Structure 1
């Protein structure tokens, strides 16, 4: 049976990777996600370390600040995470074409 991945660990890793890729400090990310500047750095640090878990609204704001879909932050397979990011960049017509080519029976 395949080993289950802890989604919390995936979120922590993806959050930090996306933040670093965007060249944002923990404080900058927190402020862009709507956190108070006084606590932004500590809160993001705690999210990345798994000390605290953000609620879904905060996760959505973090994803928006990082310009990634929420699904990216929870993708437990690196290839899937890359596909999510690549898919998000495509124009709608290309997304539809790609989906049709991947669906069974096509």
Structure 2
């Protein structure tokens, strides 16, 4: 997982660390600290947790794992087109 991608997607969604954690199913008492640790790279969440974050943040799961930043942004743009076409 690329930590800065989680922080970037959360900021774009205008969510606090606590709110993101709670919406992703993390207990409210630890949500802020866990998301903070994920964003700083101190700990890495498991894939299931990342899938929950992706759903809440409306980004594809792979966005958090692609190493090349430019490619990750292209995937994000493609995902937005895909989601718009599904509506």
Fold shared, TM-score > 0.5 on shorter chain: yes
Match of residue 16 from structure 2 = 25
**Which of the two has higher C-alpha Rg?**
1
CA-CA distance at 1:90 after TM superposition: 2.1
Alpha-carbon separation, structure 2, partners of 1:72 and 1:57: 14
Runs of 4+ in structure 1 deviating by more than 3 angstroms, as ranges, are: none
CA RMSD of aligned residues (A): 1.6
Is residue 50 of structure 1 aligned with residue 41 of structure 2? yes
- Larger relative CO (CA 8 A, sep 6+): 1 or 2? 2
Structure 2 spans left out of the alignment, 5+ residues: none
Give CA deviations for 1:61-90 in whole Å, capped at 9, x if unaligned: 011111100111112222211111111122
Structure 1 runs not aligned, ≥5 long: 1-7, 95-106
Superposed CA deviations along residues 36-72 of structure 1, whole A, max 9, x for unmatched, are 1111000000101111111110011011111100111
Q: How many residues align?
A: 84
Alignment partner for residue 89 of structure 1, among 69, 80, 83? 80
The correspondence of residues 6-85 of structure 1 with structure 2, limited to 5 A, is 8=1, 11-85=2-76
